[in-house]
Amino acid sequence: MRFTIKAGELASVLNSLSGLAKGQTMPILGCVKITAEDAHLQVEATDLATRSTCRWPATPTSVGATCVNANRLLGLMRGLPSSMVVEITGTKEHLTIKGLRSRYRLAALSEFDFPQRPDAVANTTCQFPAGALHRGLSAVIKVVDNMAVTGSMSSGASITITEGCVESIAAESGRVTYVREFSEDIHAAGPISTFVNRNTGKELLRLLGEVESDSTVFYAHGDQHDTFTAGDRELILQRYQMNFPESAVRSLLKERPDETRVTVNREGLKAMISRVAVAMDSEFDSDRFQIKCTGRDLVATVSRDRNAMGSKDALKAASRAAKGDEEAPPSNAPRKAYETIAEESLESAGMTDMEPMTFQLRYFIDVVDRGEGETAELYFGGPANPLRLQLGAEVTAILAPMRD
């Protein structure tokens, strides 16, 4: 195998695929497979559950294939000028890179050691613009990104594609996000539903984000694998049969007769929550805040327990006790003594007095930031019921209140 390529071009391809090769315990899974054909070059990476391929037209000097450590090759390509043309020669034992004044040799593995491409038989196919799924999936995958245990196969998002519409839903620990994207360019013979876990979902997001938003993505839905193809990229995902609580989640999206709707300016809500976040960062490390309704105002409040070990007052007292300046506090926890350190209000419509509800700040900010339209609608169903947040026609979030 021998071909020439610009270092920056190969680095870009490797950067897209190397995520699958990181942290692998089997040497072959830490490699990319490079194949030179008569009129194409192809680079593949896999972690067995996901297989990502980049294939583009080229005129190699000689055909063949070899496997090389992805991160080592990527590091070399990044260290060279992006416009430099390098000659790459591959054998079963070594991969040689020749530059203008440089020469490198990396250990290689046989192409036959690399896992074979799965026989992905498609039962149903459809197509949609890359941006239609990218916007929705990027919003909902945030729900499980920081909550799930690393490597968890049970946390992810449900994707449903119908004619003219693609829906993305994710739920984790009382937080739900539902996003709809409408487009005349979404074509499906019937409803197609699949589930991507947090790891395969990120690889799918990577593919969708690396092509133009109006690029057509061809989706082949099979019993064991899903295949997404866009431009010179192909992604094969192993399907997981998960008991995703989609019906229960969709029931939370419906309006209830006992709900109270509160309408506010979306940018105003975003600014209010952002100011609260600044106050929280400056006072103590916490990610909880409260929302309540008072008169015609929506009020965001941050309180702290002066006696909590995480508060500044308690930490100072513990420090003085450690130095012997004062007696250590008793071992039994003191009574909670809350004080308000920040309060922001926003005028709204449809207001009635309601008790405070506690939510997680970073998730609330992310949902509001991704919404569209001038207004945000908050549907309160009582202190024990989830808050439904409607941001335009496409984005709906369900936030379960947190317990103190």
Mind giving me the DSSP string for 13-45? HHHHHGGGGTT-SSGGGGEEEEEE-SSEEEEEE
The pTM for the full model equals 0.76
In CATH, the number for domain 255-307+336-399 is: 3.10.150.10
Mind giving me the DSSP string for 144-199? HHTTSPTT-SS-EEEEEEETTEEEEEEEETTEEEEEEEE-TT-EESS-EEEEEEHH
| pLDDT tens, per residue, the chain with 404 residues | 999 999 999 999 999 998 898 877 789 999 999 999 999 999 999 999 899 999 999 999 999 999 999 999 999 999 999 999 999 999 989 999 998 888 999 999 999 999 999 887 888 999 999 988 988 888 777 666 655 444 444 578 889 999 999 988 887 766 777 888 888 999 998 899 888 888 888 899 999 999 998 999 999 998 899 999 998 999 999 887 766 777 777 777 777 777 888 888 888 888 888 888 777 665 555 667 888 888 788 888 877 655 554 555 555 655 665 555 555 555 455 555 556 667 788 887 766 777 788 887 777 777 787 777 788 888 887 767 788 888 877 788 888 777 65
Strands 233-238 and 94-98: unpaired
Q: Where are the domains of the chain?
A: 2-113, 124-249, 255-307+336-399
- CA angle, residues 247, 250, 256, in degrees to nearest 5: 125
pLDDT of amino acid 146:
53
In CATH, the number for domain 2-113 is: 3.10.150.10
CB 31 within 8 A of CB 69: yes
DSSP state of 387: E
CATH class, range 124-249: alpha beta
pLDDT of amino acid 149:
44
Compute the Cα dihedral for 327, 333, 334, 336 and give only its sign.
positive
pLDDT of amino acid 153:
46
Fold matches, 124-249 and 255-307+336-399: yes
pLDDT of amino acid 139:
75
pLDDT of amino acid 403:
66
CB 37 within 8 A of CB 8: no
User: Closest by alpha carbon to 224, among 206, 235, 236?
Assistant: 236
Q: What gap in Å lies between CA 35 and CA 51, rounded to an integer?
A: 15
pLDDT of amino acid 151:
41
Cβ-proximal residues to 275 (8 Å cutoff; 6+ apart), any chain: 342, 344
Q: For the chain, how big is the Rg over CA atoms in Å?
A: 26
CB 346 within 8 A of CB 272: yes
Longest alpha-carbon distance in the chain: 81
